[in-house]
Structure 1
Amino acid sequence: MLTTLALSDLRDLFGDRFSVSPSVLAEHGQSESLVMAGLPDAVVFPRATEEVAALARWSATHRVPLIGWGAGTSLEGHALALAGGVVVDFRDMARVLEVRPEDRLARVQPGITREALNRELRTTGLMFPVDPGANASLGGMASTRASGTTAVRYGTMRSNIMGLEVVLSDGRVIRTGSLAPKTAAGYDLTALFVGAEGTLGLITELVLRLHGQPEAVMTTVAAFPSVAAAVDCVIATMQMGLTPARIEFLDAETVAACNAFSGLSLPVQPQLLADFHGHAEGLTEDVRRFRNLAADFRAEGLAWAERQEDRSRLWAARHAAYRAILASRPGAKAVVTDLCVPISALAEAVEETRADIAASGLPGPILGHVGDGNFHAILMVYPDRPEEMATARTLARRMAERALRLGGTITGEHGVGFGKLAYMAAEHGAGWQVMGAVKRALDPMNLMNPGKVVPG
């Protein structure tokens, strides 16, 4: 609990942009999944870097944890208060500060969402391509090293951030990176903070790499006779050097849920949904090659969508897949987990996971960004049934172990939070202790999002 003095000082700093309202605390005490924790002691809404720096100094004085909050879409409890503290909601720091079309760069505040940024970029011929599905904030996407549907072509947040402004635990404000295309000057501090989940500091500004809007786009959807055939088609596509902007896998359960929820009529079979971006001439050749390749793997009903409204409808259904899956088992909640493996091990990982889920008796549709070896299982449970929760936890643990056995990682994009903390030692060995040493060096009082990512 905050002391009377700490509360008074916080009110002085933020005035009416400070709240201890039960409804506001409750809003900032929940996540998109079943990873749960307690409530924060207060929520603040800064408008400038200087206020965040003053808040960090307040935190150090009163020994109160700070937890960053973007759009609240994280799945592993990244933004939940494990031991009270103050949630720093960046909703009022959501401006585009500068666009440099010649350099293909944008400087933004952390609270702006990817969709809002792209609306601002529409007239420039540029776009920010990283698409995790949810309309997440860019500060949150940087903090979790997000990726998503387009990572197979455009890369993850790690490769699309040129620099950051960060407030450290003692109130110092630092800038990392530069506007130059490359640098060899010292440690890569930008990469250090990308994916740190707010455990090393609070991001208050980002310099983002932009990409040209494609001249032409085509979307294809194809049904396959088996999961193995669909996944093998993905592997062959990547090995042939085709570079789809997105290539998504949906198993039959996911397709059935999307049909019911979004009014589609796709065959209830494993499906690939792919986007190709480029110039019209090159796109025609990519489409021809993918069509022939899919036919080799016995694809059925291969259909192409060229009109914007048809493409948007298909991708809207894909982005709504999580809600569609939940709706397929009314009253259920989701234990959502992901893994990422080398593309050569993708078929084995998917098939073993499917068999594991089928043997458990628990509904668990699989979908994912398989072009870069990343897929998700959405394990649906009734929270008041302890046996289902135990089964879901076992399945998630076995997925993590499977990823490591196949040379992969316990999470390709969801991040660690505290939901996957138990698997970090197995993935990183002594390296995990090094991460803890970096945390102690930059945050010796353990005030920045404590209990996440690194050893306690």
Structure 2
Amino acid sequence: MALRDAKAGVRNEAGIEAVSGILKQRFGERFQTGRAFRAQHAHTTTYIPTQLPDGVLFAETADDVKTVVRACADHKVPVIGFGTGSSLEGQVNAPNGGISIDFSRMNRVLEVNPEDLDCTVEPGVTREALNTHLRDTGLFFPIDPGANASIGGMTSTRASGTNAVRYGTMKDNVLAVTAVTASGEEIRTARRARKSSAGYDLTRLFVGAEGTLGILTSVTLRLHGIPQKIAGGVCAFPSVKAACDAVIMTIQMGIPVARIELVDALQMRASIAYANLPYEESPALFLEFHGTDETVELQSAAFAEIAAECGGGEFRFTASPEERTKLWKARHDAYWSVRALAPGLAVLSTDVCVPISRLADCVAETQADIEANGLLAPIVGHAGDGNFHVQLLFDDKSAAGIATAEEFVARLNARALAMDGTCTGEHGIGQGKMAFLEQELGGTVDLMRQIKRSLDPDNILNPGKIFHLG
């Protein structure tokens, strides 16, 4: 489905040439049109073919962004925001050509308000850089999608990650944004107050819009206190279903787990080989608890009882920062460990999310599908909120291999939707999941189209993403 949705669109050659001339004159060396620069700003971490922009502007201020968008608006040329390029569904591709705005130089932390537990950053700040900056305040930003993604990109794709079960996703942690609209005007969606009943919730409109409604120039974030104690560990299970049952029981009993990640036996084998982990090749849960010495001990003990009831092995946990870092680095490196399983094959990383009560069913049926079709596809998941990922290894140079991959993804999404789930818990729609969004929401997508046409009548903001306007 992704290849069909990633078809090139209609290019405005005259407009692109005019805008390129304007930006070259205005920005000099900060505007690049060389193929290497353009290719770097269209790459994706999926098999979706790259579609290059016609130029890349390295923005340094919000005024730079306004200048680019106004020029593109005047000449009806597409403009695409670019953070770190770690999106998974082709969000940074330029199917109609146009201008990519690189935010790597807009990487300043503008304001930190420790008393209010919030901060405001430019879109190019990465999550790791932000937490390094916050370290001395006793605060941290908890959203951790694995990659060292930019805050602007995480906001645009409504990212979540391993901590979402306790701290929520980007939609729960963004208080306000400033954004440049299709007319080139900068707007602010909210103030710093923790709640408001003032009009439409425009902040949530921009969170997850994938740059199709505006180009973000700053993001105000909710922060959290660094826990007094953090402990994490691993527990092996005889089957993925047993592990999922333990997850469901843990959540339903209200144990405030911070992270609870599922890996199947194949993923564990890959991680053991890649990160030299001292674990057995079996399905497992990676967990982490945040709190005080006493609460962490109580939570860990409660989970150990649940694990035993579900047939799990010993829950081995540690408060050692070094050991925890190694554990979670192995989890975050899952993609690379899977690539190492079969270096000649491509990896398609796809996700779905279902109600927590259906997680075991959905994962078990997906495993049966994988086995029945002879596929190589490890499963990992942010199991605490019903979200899991399948990392399918396949031959992306073969039409048959691509067809097999796309057919599997279609079955996976149909399965999740049949369980009242969603086609994506955190990757977003981009180009890769347009068809599944239509299946999930039906006519509601027409309302999204109306909003898009109202805010971006000439369709210049990241066109060809989320849905087709035609």
Query: TM-score, normalising length from structure 1?
Result: 0.99
1:62 Cα deviation after fit: 1.4
Q: Distance in 1 between matches of 2:234 and 2:20?
A: 55
1:172 corresponds to: 185
Q: 2:46, 2:348 within 8 Å by CA — same for their partners in 1?
A: yes
1:3 Cα deviation after fit: 4.9
Residue among 448, 451, 465 paired with 1:435: 448
Residues 1:432 and 1:3: Cα distance change in structure 2 (over 3 Å): closer
Please show how residues 231-250 of structure 1 align to structure 2 within 5 Å.
231-250=244-263
Residue among 356, 362, 375 paired with 2:375: 362
Gaps of 5+ in 2: 1-12
2:195 corresponds to: 182
Residue among 198, 204, 228 paired with 1:191: 204
Q: 1:143, 1:197 within 8 Å by CA — same for their partners in 2?
A: yes
Q: 2:16, 2:77 within 8 Å by CA — same for their partners in 1?
A: no
Q: Secondary structure at the match of 2:285?
A: strand
1:54 corresponds to: 67
Q: Distance in 2 between matches of 1:40 and 1:246?
A: 38
Equivalent AA in structure 2 for residue 227 of structure 1: V
Please show how residues 114-133 of structure 1 align to structure 2 within 5 Å.
114-133=127-146
Q: 1:64, 1:86 within 8 Å by CA — same for their partners in 2?
A: yes
Q: Distance in 1 between matches of 2:26 and 2:385?
A: 45
1:76-107 Cα offsets, whole Å, 9 max, x none, are: 00111111111111001011001000000110
Q: Distance in 2 between matches of 1:169 and 1:3?
A: 16
1:151-173 Cα offsets, whole Å, 9 max, x none, are: 00000000000000000011111
1:286 corresponds to: 299
Larger mean CA deviation between 287-296 and 198-207 belongs to: 287-296
Q: 1:432, 1:455 within 8 Å by CA — same for their partners in 2?
A: no
Q: Secondary structure at the match of 1:197?
A: coil
Equivalent AA in structure 2 for residue 407 of structure 1: D
Q: Distance in 2 between matches of 1:249 and 1:334?
A: 19
Residue among 95, 111, 132 paired with 2:124: 111
Q: Distance in 2 between matches of 1:22 and 1:144?
A: 27
1:6 Cα deviation after fit: 2.5
Residue among 271, 274, 289 paired with 1:261: 274
Q: Distance in 2 between matches of 1:158 and 1:177?
A: 14
Cα RMSD for the two superposed structures = 0.9
Q: 1:13, 1:51 within 8 Å by CA — same for their partners in 2?
A: no
Equivalent AA in structure 2 for residue 324 of structure 1: S
Q: Distance in 1 between matches of 2:360 and 2:231?
A: 26
1:208 corresponds to: 221
1:8 corresponds to: 21
1:236-261 Cα offsets, whole Å, 9 max, x none, are: 00000001110000000000000111
Equivalent AA in structure 2 for residue 17 of structure 1: R
What percentage of aligned pairs have identical amino acids? 47
1:322 corresponds to: 335
1:433 Cα deviation after fit: 0.2
Paired residues in the alignment total 456
1:87 corresponds to: 100
Q: 1:362, 1:388 within 8 Å by CA — same for their partners in 2?
A: no
Gaps of 5+ in 1: none
Q: 1:60, 1:447 within 8 Å by CA — same for their partners in 2?
A: yes
Q: 1:14, 1:46 within 8 Å by CA — same for their partners in 2?
A: no
1:399 corresponds to: 412
Larger mean CA deviation between 303-312 and 141-150 belongs to: 303-312
1:432 Cα deviation after fit: 0.3
Residue among 143, 159, 163 paired with 1:150: 163
Q: Determine whether 1:408 maps to 2:394.
A: no
1:340 corresponds to: 353
Equivalent AA in structure 2 for residue 224 of structure 1: F
Query: TM-score, normalising length from structure 2?
Result: 0.96
Q: Distance in 2 between matches of 1:423 and 1:17?
A: 38
Q: Distance in 2 between matches of 1:431 and 1:36?
A: 29
Q: Distance in 2 between matches of 1:315 and 1:433?
A: 41
Equivalent AA in structure 2 for residue 151 of structure 1: A
Q: Secondary structure at the match of 2:404?
A: helix
Residue among 408, 411, 420 paired with 2:433: 420
